[in-house]
Amino acid sequence: MPRGKNDFYLRYYVGHKGKFGHEFLEFEFRPDGKLRYANNSNYKNDVMIRKECTVNVCVIDELRRLIDDSEIMQEDDTMWPPPDRVGRQELEIVMGDDHISFTTSKIGSLVDVNTSKDPEGLRCFYYLVQDLKCCVFSLIGLHFKIKPI
Amino acid sequence: MASADILDYEADDIDMEEDGEVNFILDNSVLDGIVRMKEAAKRRKGRGFASEGTTKTEIKHYEGVEADDEDDVAQKSVEGWILFVSGVHEEASDDELRDKFSEFGQIKNFHLNLDRRTGFIKGYALVEYEKRSEAEAARVNLDNTDMLGQIIRVNWCFVQPPKK
């Protein structure tokens, strides 16, 4: 497995525990290209969707570009709202020498971002997460012919 | 149909020892690799490193798509073959890209995603054909070609899992 400058790992989780069990969305890109996707809810006795596939290097390279352009690796979650009863989000990225593991509450809209203690950092997170989800939903949706959400 | 347990597993994942002990076969080498990579990182930031840590969903089994031909580098998707296009210009038009790719076969699915903040093209696309030969032709002919002054790269989107 390539190490050093080529290291790459990405994991995103958003979820909460409530009336319909532990409802969450999670996806993970591993260094060997494996993408794992899980979406769980017990709403109306629904079952968990668990899918995995292996993406080509070009996809990982594009993710690196998305992450670089967002400048999320320069941010810090210290001033972000902590996870709470409503829910939590987790973003963990390893790129080269940097390893971030951010946690925060769910973000309802830009209003929540603009009224937080670090609007610029949280905005960066907010849009990156949307771009990542967009990419993952396309990958998983087309590969497995399912509509993830 | 019974609802799936988070700790769902298949018979293949269980390794029965002679004295009846059961060990789950985890892909340890990959997990070790990930742990080592994380430890090698020089700079760490974030609340996820604090005592509360991050959520462990601990899902044991994920479903994949079986390979038709195990020697092929490309992996077939459920209903076709998908290419990943990168280097797409932010002002590229949906129609223009579709036209280029339509030359090699009927496009079954096409995703040209937008940047969620700016509304411009994010820079990548997914194109699906029904036949491998159509996708191969598009890949070979369009990879490293110019579009609006930028070079686009066209490659298989999904590949076979790395051999253990």
User: What is the pLDDT at residue A5?
Assistant: 64
Query: Residue B17: which pLDDT band, with cuts at 50, 70 and 90?
Result: very low
User: What is the pLDDT at residue A148?
Assistant: 52
Which residue, among A33, A32, A31, A35, has the nearest Cα to A50 in the 3D structure? Answer: A35
- CB distance from A118 to chain B under 8 Å? no
pTM value is 0.87
Other CB atoms within 10 Å distance of the CB of residue B65: 16
Inter-chain touch A138–B111, beta carbons under 8 Å? yes
Instruction: Give mean pLDDT, residues B2-14.
Output: 38
DSSP 3-state assignment of A81? coil
Query: Residue B13: which pLDDT band, with cuts at 50, 70 and 90?
Result: very low
User: What is the pLDDT at residue A149?
Assistant: 54
Query: Residue B26: which pLDDT band, with cuts at 50, 70 and 90?
Result: very low
Q: Looking at residue B157, what DSSP letter applies?
A: S
- CB distance from B65 to chain A under 8 Å? yes
- CB distance from B22 to chain A under 8 Å? no
Q: Alpha carbon of B45 to those of A14, A81, A102, A124: distances in Å?
A: 19, 16, 8, 16
Of B44, B54, B157, the CB nearest to A55: B157
pLDDT in tens, chain A (149 residues): 444 567 899 999 999 999 988 999 999 999 999 999 999 988 888 889 999 999 999 999 999 999 999 999 999 999 999 999 999 999 999 998 999 999 999 999 999 999 999 999 999 999 999 999 999 999 999 999 976 55
Q: Looking at residue A137, what DSSP letter applies?
A: H
Inter-chain touch A61–B86, beta carbons under 8 Å? yes
User: What is the pLDDT at residue B164?
Assistant: 61
A30 CB neighbours in chain B (<8 A) are 30, 34
Contacts across the A-B interface (CB distance below 8 Å): 185
- CB distance from B59 to chain A under 8 Å? yes
CATH class of A8-144: alpha beta
Which residue, among A115, A113, A137, has the nearest Cα to A127 in the 3D structure? Answer: A113
Q: Alpha carbon of B4 to those of A36, A146, B55, B123: distances in Å?
A: 17, 18, 19, 37
Instruction: Give mean pLDDT, residues B126-153.
Output: 98
- CB distance from A74 to chain B under 8 Å? no
Of A76, A127, A143, the CB nearest to B158: A143
Angle at CA B52, nearest 5°, toward B51 and B56? 120
The CATH number of the structural domain formed by B81-156 is 3.30.70.330
Query: Whole-angstrom Cα distance, residue A87 to residue A17?
Result: 7
User: What is the pLDDT at residue A1?
Assistant: 44
Instruction: Give mean pLDDT, residues B77-100.
Output: 97
- CB distance from B119 to chain A under 8 Å? no
Instruction: Give mean pLDDT, residues B123-132.
Output: 98
Q: Alpha carbon of B158 to those of A47, B6, B65, B92: distances in Å?
A: 26, 26, 10, 24
Other CB atoms within 10 Å distance of the CB of residue A100: 23
Q: CB of A54 within 8 A of CB of A36?
A: no
A77 CB neighbours in chain B (<8 A) are 45-47
The answer on pLDDT for B16 being more than 60 is no
Domain boundaries for CATH 3.30.70.330 within chain B: 81-156
The string of pLDDT tens digits covering residues B54-73 is 898 888 899 999 888 888 89
Q: Domain residues of chain A, as ranges? A: 8-144
Query: Residue B53: which pLDDT band, with cuts at 50, 70 and 90?
Result: confident
A100 to chain B: closest CA residue: B45
Query: Whole-angstrom Cα distance, residue A12 to residue A26?
Result: 6
Inter-chain touch B46–A101, beta carbons under 8 Å? yes
Query: Whole-angstrom Cα distance, residue A146 to residue B78?
Result: 10
